Structure 1
Amino acid sequence: MRTVSVAAGDPPRPAPASPPGSRAAALAALKDSTSVGLGLLPLGLAFGVLIVHAGLPWWCASLFTAVVYAGSFEFLLVGLAVAVTPLATVALTAFLVNVRHVFYALSFPLDRIPGPLGKAYGTFALTDEAYALTTGDRARSWSGARILWLQLFMQSYWVGGATAGALLGSAVPDSVGGLDFAMTALFAVLALDAVRERRGDLPTPVLALLGALVARLVLPGQMLLVAFTLLTAALLIRSRKEEPRESRA
């Protein structure tokens, strides 16, 4: 450890420790973000191509990904923008699509992020990918700076990929289909990774599947919101039932 030079006779004092936002936290976050980044880059490319093929200017890709930054809703926003949809309808659609983030806030480690600006960006950049990486068992010891760097890197992948896709979009023929399915494919991969990481927790994915099936049958138009509500209720009931067992142990 380095020490600060002092006058003779004074006891040596350790140099101040590196702040939480040090280079080490950034490098660790860059490594953490690589796996998801490899998926976000081509996904961003697909989104950028979709923007240009819809007839919107290329810079809309940069604007949407930097300011809106709500993956699945951004794909919907392309169609809404082309149709010149009223702002009230756009706002309602955004709420219904992104209401799942309310559930994410229940376990996202926002308390580790220092400062109001840091917390504001951490809340803004709370995407499905960021949630999946920061709430796993291996992320329990991550500092707030590492979480912020992770979110910043992931948004950079998204913005960079979308901008590049929009600029190169004219080179991709209109006949290429399935670009709007890229986000769904990424969600499926994240879900599989989460199941693999918690192999002993089989009831959770089963409850999620049952909630999705019930939501599909009861309210298919609001499937996402209903499925999240049912899953949250089931997990709370399960947690309450497990508490007495743990207290008796």
Structure 2
Amino acid sequence: MKIVSFLIYSLLLFLLHCQTSPTGRRQLILVKDPEMNQLGAEAFSEMKKKTPIEKSDSINKYVNCIVSAELAVSEDTTGVTDWEVVVFKDNTPNAFALPGGKIGVHTGILPVTKTADQLAAVLGHEIGHVIARHGNERISQNQVAQGGMEALTKIGKGEMAGILGGGAKFGILLPFSRAHESEADLIGLEIMAKAGFDPKESISLWENMSAMSSGKPNELLSTHPSDETRMKNLNQKMPDALQLREEANRNGKLPNCKL
């Protein structure tokens, strides 16, 4: 009976709070954008206190050059007024995004992204997470999984950062996490192409990532799609992306970001 009640409750929440993502996917959104943006800002502030920040002028200019070009062609409806990009001194090849336009880039991603176009694929992906409200959707799913709206008030800042940028290991949240990653890939592909970057380099990026990885869990038990799945999905959208890039280049969008 409890399971039936939970399912009915979840269905009602979905019907009452259903929205559509930039790719047309249906989403459960329970938290207002200003609240999410504040949560993201607080979590990011905590991260900046605990993780060393890269001060290199050339690295920061390089990363921000790419982000600026991509933000110029991105459409955000979450109320972000001032995007913030921070390069963290961390050797892991990673980047992440939080609501409120907060993007973190680890220095460890720079050797993996051999070109500015490849880094543009990473950063476009992170921008995609923000404008698609993936953090909001993850928290909304977490609320449902915990049985109600009051769950949000029980989450601390540290745990909040994990929910915003990480996720549950198994169960109801798992498929959504893969959906978020796949959707951010496609949104990022479109953004980088509209900004004038070469969308084919998104494939090269995942070839690089695949070459350096070993012992990855099976996709079914992973919160991320496999590298092969990501490349397949990107290739399916590549003809449209190449057209967008050609149009961008004709209109003078020729990014020249160098490290």
Same fold per superposition (TM over 0.5): no
The answer to which structure, 1 or 2, has the higher relative contact order (CA under 8 A, 6+ apart) is: 1
Name the structure with the higher strand share.
2
Name the structure with the higher helix share.
1
